[in-house]
Amino acid sequence: MNEEKQVRAVCEKFGLKGEYRNYEIVNSGHINTTYRVYYFRDGEVKDYILQRVNTYVFKNPVDVMDNISTVTEYIRAKIKQKQATAKRNVLHYSKTPEEQYYTFTEDGGFWRCCRFIDDSVCFMTTDSLDVIEESGKAFGEFQMYLSDFPVKELNIVIPHFHNTIRRYDALREAVKMNEAGRLAEVEQDVENYRTVEEIATKPYRLQREGVLPLRVTHNDTKLSNVLFDAATHEHLSVIDLDTVMPGLVAFDFGDAIRICASTGEEDEKDLDKVALDIEKYEAFARGFVPCVKDQLNQAEKDTLALGAVAMTVECGVRFLTDYLNGDKYFKIHYPDQNLVRARCHFVLAQDMIRRLDEMQAIVNKYCEGEKEN
Ligand code: GN1
Ligand code: MG
């Protein structure tokens, strides 16, 4: 079946009303295949986000949708306590006539559909400190909405997702197997990552020792996972809830920093361009920290900046592992993209390690915010 036919057939399975107009591919994610589909109904265009979930990555996609539906309902109810409608502030997934949040296609595809939030935009990168601060608020509020959510109700959709120790083990395994025959080319990169293993695995070790508590976290807090109002650039909603699971607040903070506070792209080839932008870092902290600080223990506050090191290294290790394994996990748009990503993350992490005290001082400032006033 050609792509458009399949897209239309899936829309029909969700019983979307109105007249189908057209569709486009959305290329920003590394995991799922995403389409924006335009319908015409009641004199206006209605658009939807249709996704084919990557079942190589999400082995139990029904569990993913269970998590997403419970979490979005929970947040919707909270938002409605303070405002009339939550329409633009939380995702709304469509159900099929059989009352399911997903449908299958004959080729084994697992699909879901949600309304596109009206007049919203997202950014892959930005130089606007206001946008970055807004993204910090978006993830901070998300954290707050779920602070009393019963953690045990969540399915663990990817076991050991942010277990940095296991991510290093997977890299060692990939080195041993050398499946794609690329080891000779990356020996220096593997060695580089070894030099930062100790510091990068520290937050995970603190979690294991019970010093850092598990909370309900988003676990994939990149800038492009926030929607903003197209005109004002105020934050509307966080998206991509696939990996909402128990996790560390430091990791939600840190994974966002990895993207929004880097001077380069996630796959910047010119490594001289890659560094931590401390102003952007501060902008995110200014949005995020005040939302969460009252619920964090001292150890959590003290390790937020370290979370950025951990997430940058962990993500780099994952890119390098995938490169060695033959690019099976992350989507790539050119042959050595995973290697480029891995190298760029190492340079960024090194800069963060150099500036860790400065980074943590900024967090401390926003943790103490109220005392200053
Ligand atoms: C993936 O789906 P996407 O592109 O938002 C990945 C994240 C990585 C990120 C790197 C389920 O996120 O963990 O940090 O790429 N998601 C999964 O950009 O592995
Ligand atoms: Mg994701």
Q: Which 3-state string (H, E, C) describes the chain?
A: CCHHHHHHHHHHHCCCCCEEEEEEEECCCCCCEEEEEEEEECCEEEEEEEEECCCCCCCCHHHHHHHHHHHHHHHHHHHHHHCCCCCCCCCCECCCCCCCCCEECCCCCEEEEEECCCCEECCCCCCCHHHHHHHHHHHHHHHHHCCCCCHHHCCCCCCCCCCHHHHHHHHHHHHHHCCCCCHHHHHHHHHHHHHCHHHHCHHHHHHHCCCCCCEEECCCCCHHHEEEECCCCCEEEECCCCCCEEECHHHHHHHHHHHHCECCCCCCCCHHHCCECHHHHHHHHHHHHHHHHHHCCHHHHHCHHHHHHHHHHHHHHHHHHHHHHCCCCCCCCCCCHHHHHHHHHHHHHHHHHHCHHHHHHHHHHHHCHHHHC
Q: Are residues 189 and 84 in the same domain?
A: no
Q: What is the CATH number of the domain that holds 87?
A: 3.30.200.20
Whose Cα sits closest to atom 7 in ligand 1? 220
Q: Are 66 and 33 within 8 A, CB to CB?
A: no
Atom of ligand 1 nearest to the CA of 219: 13
Provide the pLDDT for residue 372: 47
Q: Cα(4) to centroid of ligand 2, in Å?
A: 24
Q: Which two tokens stand for residue 16?
A: 């979307």
Provide the pLDDT for residue 201: 98
Q: Are residues 114 and 134 in the same domain?
A: no
Q: Cα(14) to centroid of ligand 2, in Å?
A: 23
Question: In whole angstroms, what is the distance from residue 347 CA to residue 342 CA?
Answer: 9
Atom of ligand 1 nearest to the CA of 57: 11
Q: Residue 349: which of 262, 286, 270 has the closest Cα?
A: 262
The radius of gyration of the chain's CA atoms, rounded to the nearest angstrom, is 21
**pLDDT confidence tier of residue 28, bands split at 50, 70 and 90:** confident
Q: How much of the chain, in percent, has pLDDT values that exceed 70? A: 99
Closest ligand to residue 255's CA: 1
Question: In whole angstroms, what is the distance from residue 154 CA to residue 162 CA?
Answer: 16
Q: Cα(78) to centroid of ligand 2, in Å?
A: 24
* pLDDT tens figures, 64-108: 999 999 999 999 999 999 998 999 999 999 999 999 999 999 999
Q: Are residues 79 and 146 in the same domain?
A: no
Q: Are residues 151 and 43 in the same domain?
A: no
Q: Are residues 57 and 159 in the same domain?
A: no
Question: In whole angstroms, what is the distance from residue 252 CA to residue 245 CA?
Answer: 11
Residue 10 lies in a domain: yes
Atom of ligand 1 nearest to the CA of 224: 5
Average of per-residue pLDDT across 35-46 = 96
Q: Residue 207: which of 287, 298, 142, 300 has the closest Cα?
A: 300
Residue 52 lies in a domain: yes
Please identify, among 118, 142, 163, the residue that sits at the C-terminal boundary of a domain: 118
Residue 372 lies in a domain: no
Structurally, how many domains does the chain consist of?
2
Q: Are 339 and 320 within 8 A, CB to CB?
A: yes
Q: Are residues 142 and 114 in the same domain?
A: no
Closest ligand to residue 219's CA: 1
Residue 96 lies in a domain: yes
Q: Are residues 29 and 153 in the same domain?
A: no
Q: Cα(257) to centroid of ligand 2, in Å?
A: 16
Residue 262 lies in a domain: yes
Q: Which residues pair with 52 in a beta bridge?
A: 33, 111
Please identify, among 118, 141, 168, the residue that sits at the C-terminal boundary of a domain: 118
Question: In whole angstroms, what is the distance from residue 208 CA to residue 203 CA?
Answer: 9
Q: What is the residue range of 112's domain? A: 3-118
Q: Which two tokens stand for residue 138?
A: 């978006």
CA angle centred on 213, ends 212 and 219, rounded to 5°: 95
On average, the pLDDT of the chain sits at 96
For a mutational test of ligand 1's pocket, the pick from 222, 239, 253, 319, i.e. the residue with the most ligand atoms closer than 8 A to its C-beta, is 222
Q: Are residues 236 and 189 in the same domain?
A: yes
Q: Which two tokens stand for residue 304?
A: 């937020």
Q: Are residues 193 and 298 in the same domain?
A: yes
Asked whether residue 221 carries a pLDDT value surpassing 50, the answer given is yes
Residue with tokens 């990939």: 174
Q: Which two tokens stand for residue 299?
A: 């150890």
Asked whether residue 371 carries a pLDDT value surpassing 90, the answer given is no
Q: Cα(243) to centroid of ligand 2, in Å?
A: 7
Q: Are 297 and 145 within 8 A, CB to CB?
A: no
Residue 107 lies in a domain: yes
Q: Are residues 180 and 266 in the same domain?
A: yes
Question: pTM, whole model, 2 decimals?
Answer: 0.96
Question: In whole angstroms, what is the distance from residue 21 CA to residue 352 CA?
Answer: 47
Atom of ligand 1 nearest to the CA of 266: 18
For a mutational test of ligand 1's pocket, the pick from 163, 220, 244, 258, i.e. the residue with the most ligand atoms closer than 8 A to its C-beta, is 220
Q: Are residues 165 and 36 in the same domain?
A: no
Please identify, among 96, 118, 140, the residue that sits at the C-terminal boundary of a domain: 118
Q: Are 91 and 114 within 8 A, CB to CB?
A: yes
* pLDDT tens figures, 129-171: 999 999 999 999 999 999 999 988 999 999 999 999 999 999 9
Order of all β-strands in the sheet with 44-52: 19-26, 33-41, 44-52, 110-115, 103-104
Q: Cα(30) to centroid of ligand 1, in Å?
A: 6
Provide the pLDDT for residue 1: 73
Residues having CB closer than 6 A to ligand 1 are 29-31, 57, 220, 222, 225, 240, 242-243, 266, 315
Q: What is the CATH number of the domain that holds 137?
A: 3.90.1200.10
Task: From residue 359, give the alpha-carbon distance in Å to each of 4, 236, 348.
Answer: 48, 27, 13
Residue 69 lies in a domain: yes
Closest ligand to residue 314's CA: 1
Burial class (CB in 10 A: 0-12, 13-18, 19+), 282: buried
Asked whether residue 373 carries a pLDDT value surpassing 50, the answer given is no
Whose Cα sits closest to atom 5 in ligand 1? 29
Residue 123 lies in a domain: no
Q: How many CB atoms lie within 10 A of CB 124?
A: 12
Q: Are residues 106 and 75 in the same domain?
A: yes
Question: In whole angstroms, what is the distance from residue 214 CA to residue 208 CA?
Answer: 10
